[in-house]
Amino acid sequence: MSDIQSLKTEFTKKIKEKINKQELDSIKTELFGKNGKISSLFKNLGNLSADQKKEFASNLNLLKDDLISLINKKFSDLEIQEINNKLKNEKIDVTLPGRTYFNGKIHPVSQVIDEVTSIFSEIGFSVEEGPDVENEYYNFSALNTPENHPARDMHDTFYLDHSKNLLLRTHTSPVQIRTMLKSKPPFKIIAPGRTYRCDSDQTHSPMFHQLEGLHIDRDINMGHLKGCLYYFVKKFFEVDKIKVRFRPSHFPFTEPSAEVDIGYKIEDGKIKIGEGDKWLEILGCGMVHPNVLKNAKVNPKQYQGYAFGVGIDRLAMLKYGINDLRSFFENDIRWLEFYGFDPLDVPTNYRGLSR
């Protein structure tokens, strides 16, 4: 009996101590293994008298049950502890400040397209697109620029075949025709995109970007054009007052035609938009020529409107002080790191266009 009691005291204590699963396993073997303490006691039962045997066996069974349930309980406690430790180590503190991700930047051209789109969409323009590879008809003829018209030479066109039918569009104006042909007036659209001319220097790149605007309705006049462009330049350059000049010009697809200059000055070596006595051309515009409307199946007696074409890269250079156009397309990661924009700062009119 005293054997049983002392075994119970000894092992209850051992099991309750701070041990791991392996140690618990060896305690189990020490007790119930082939030559374990409890197994040996069971083997010795044979040496006892019948009376002693009965009492001893029942006490021994009680001890065995007690210790086994203690071991099982300890085992599941250890398992729970193990899981909890694992969870604790894998825990993520979601309140920690995030790491800034430095790699991706928005190119100034994409930024300006987003800004301009935001500005025009607020006054009801929707966005259209056209293909970079155009045919001669949409790029020239439909725009009232017939073959042998001198304006064709001025565009330094990249032709893609000998018959001079396929070409890389020299401006975004063919989107005017495509838009009008595919539905019915009124039209109020902008069309940003890539354009191509065989030209390259500090302010010209063989691939550049334009934004076309077209507004056709029953009673649209030059006043609407001016109002729209004033609104645009003020919003875009984020100034309240800006000097804008409409200068008479010529485009085959508009009549009358104008070019728009904005006032600027150089202060401390930096360009300051909106004041001063220097002028910079930023876009071409005019009232859509009746021939263009006819070619696009719009009746010029009922409908009229204005169109404009803005140089997007020019706008980006002016607003963000970048002085070589060619650097836009060199894919220098350090340049983009410096001039690029945060991808999460989407330009909107109400939150601000740029920061």
Regarding 285 and contact with ligand PHE (CB under 6 A), the answer is yes
**Candidate list 56, 232, 251, 341; residue touching ligand PHE; CB under 6 A:** 251
State the minimum distance, in angstroms, from the CB of residue 352 to ligand PHE: 29
What whole-number distance in Å separates Cα of residue 151 and Cα of residue 142? 14
Regarding 216 and contact with ligand PHE (CB under 6 A), the answer is no
Nearer CB in complex with ligand PHE: 36/300: 300
Regarding 120 and contact with ligand PHE (CB under 6 A), the answer is no
Select the span of 107-115, 303-311, 325-333, 340-348 touching ligand PHE (CB under 6 A): 303-311
State the minimum distance, in angstroms, from the CB of residue 353 to ligand PHE: 23
Bond from prior residue into 186 cis (ω within 30 degrees of 0): yes
Nearest-CB residue to ligand PHE?
309
Select the span of 90-98, 129-137, 182-190, 307-315 touching ligand PHE (CB under 6 A): 307-315
CA distances from 11 to 24, 33, 68 (A): 11, 15, 11
State the minimum distance, in angstroms, from the CB of residue 194 to ligand PHE: 13
- Taking the alpha carbons at both ends of the chain, their separation in whole angstroms is 87
State the minimum distance, in angstroms, from the CB of residue 154 to ligand PHE: 9
Q: What angle do CA 214, 220, 223 make, to 5 degrees?
A: 95
**Candidate list 193, 274, 284, 347; residue touching ligand PHE; CB under 6 A:** 284
State the minimum distance, in angstroms, from the CB of residue 297 to ligand PHE: 19
Nearer CB in complex with ligand PHE: 56/308: 308
Regarding 168 and contact with ligand PHE (CB under 6 A), the answer is no
**Candidate list 208, 308, 339, 341; residue touching ligand PHE; CB under 6 A:** 308
**Candidate list 74, 152, 171, 235; residue touching ligand PHE; CB under 6 A:** 171
Select the span of 99-107, 118-126, 158-166, 283-291 touching ligand PHE (CB under 6 A): 283-291
Nearer CB in complex with ligand PHE: 117/249: 249
Residues near ligand PHE (CB under 6 A) are: 171, 173, 251, 254, 284-286, 307-309
